[in-house]
Amino acid sequence: MSGLDLARDAAPLVAIRDLAVRFNGVPALRGVDLHVARGEAVGLVGESGSGKSVTWLAALGLLPGSAAISGSVTLEGTQLLGAPAEILDRTRGGRVAMIFQDPASALNPVLTIGRQIGEALALHRGLSGRENAAEARRLLELVGIPDAGRRLSAYPHEFSGGQNQRVMIAMALAGGPDLLVADEPTTALDATIQSQILNLIGEIRRETGMALVLISHDLGVVAETCDRIAVMYAGRIVEEAPADQLFLAPRHPYTRGLIGALPPIEGARRRLVAIPGTVPDPRAMPPGCAFAPRCTQAHAACDRIAPALEIIGPGRRVACLAETAGRGSAPTEVAAE
């Protein structure tokens, strides 16, 4: 995991700054800062509703028109928020591809998968006719669909869930993207298929050098695959760290809670600890730290002051008053973004 800091210092592939989203006035994202470097694998973890998916749907302009979006999302310096449709259409699938949770409903039921993959090839690689079909077949073979040539003319309902996710991956690869955003790609699949899909994504990354953002509510899934992990809570990133450090020494009480809720793989079985309470209602956010009402270490200031995401070490950031002020170092230190 060395070179991580280097990656962070170099110009990022995607830079998200102060991204905020409201649906009908109700905040879904409350200022997200996140960088993804070329070739890097970043995990985005949090409960459902914490804003993981919304972050990337907003970044790619895939939210409905009723969403009010502010902040900045740049892809190698090009602003994506509010960008004209032509730029967004070239970016989506061509530079940044996205795959989704339920592959069965994410594929169009009335179009053959050959046509759905071929559409991306035509859009981003200008392939048509026989070339297009040949490349679609190659991609289908690449993602491990047997009898690929014949299966191009099949429809999504003729594939299993795991195979459909492979098709989604093939479709995502069609444009030769620099970044794959995988939104809960294995949640709808059973455990053995899960690891096959994660392995497939890993292999493809090794071959193509494409960056990955893996969105998941499952810390275990992210830990296996990612270099760096950002933990989201109630529409903000509360902690960010290299994957190994996050597990060895989680700093935010919420992260500690998440890790405490994981069953240990080795050693004696222990009682799993659940985080008490529930996620705050986005219509009635606490004025201070959003996690304070559930936090065992909260003190009076936590109810008043919303903590900023501050640098606490190389590649590490945390948004917690107890952690940043309690270290004895300058409590006013602010993330130098």
126-161 as b/e: b if 16+ CB within 10 A: ebeeeebbebbbebbebbbbeebeebbebbbeebeb
User: Nearer to another protein by C-beta: 101 or 324?
Assistant: 101
Find the shortest distance in angstroms from Cβ 22 to another protein. Answer: 17
Contact of 169 with 175, CB cutoff 8 Å? no
Is residue 265 exposed (0-12), middle (13-18) or buried (19+ Cβ within 10 Å)? exposed
User: Nearer to another protein by C-beta: 62 or 81?
Assistant: 62
User: Nearer to another protein by C-beta: 18 or 147?
Assistant: 147
Is residue 16 exposed (0-12), middle (13-18) or buried (19+ Cβ within 10 Å)? buried
User: Nearer to another protein by C-beta: 20 or 60?
Assistant: 60
User: Nearer to another protein by C-beta: 101 or 194?
Assistant: 101
First to last CA, the chain: 22
Find the shortest distance in angstroms from Cβ 319 to another protein. Answer: 30
CA–CA dist 114, 252 (Å, integer): 46
| Residue 318 three-state SS | strand
309-336 as b/e: b if 16+ CB within 10 A: bbbbeebbbbbbbbbbbeeeeeeeeeee
User: Nearer to another protein by C-beta: 188 or 198?
Assistant: 188
Find the shortest distance in angstroms from Cβ 246 to another protein. Answer: 28
Find the shortest distance in angstroms from Cβ 106 to another protein. Answer: 5
- Please provide the DSSP assignment of 215-239 as one string: EES-HHHHHHH-SEEEEEETTEEEE
Find the shortest distance in angstroms from Cβ 105 to another protein. Answer: 5
Find the shortest distance in angstroms from Cβ 313 to another protein. Answer: 35
Other residues' Cβ atoms within 10 Å of the Cβ of residue 249: 12
Binding site for another protein (CB under 8 A): 57, 60, 62, 85, 89-94, 97-98, 100, 102, 105-111, 119-120, 123-124, 154-155, 157-160, 163, 168, 171-172, 174-175
Contact of 252 with 289, CB cutoff 8 Å? no
Find the shortest distance in angstroms from Cβ 161 to another protein. Answer: 9
User: Nearer to another protein by C-beta: 67 or 259?
Assistant: 67
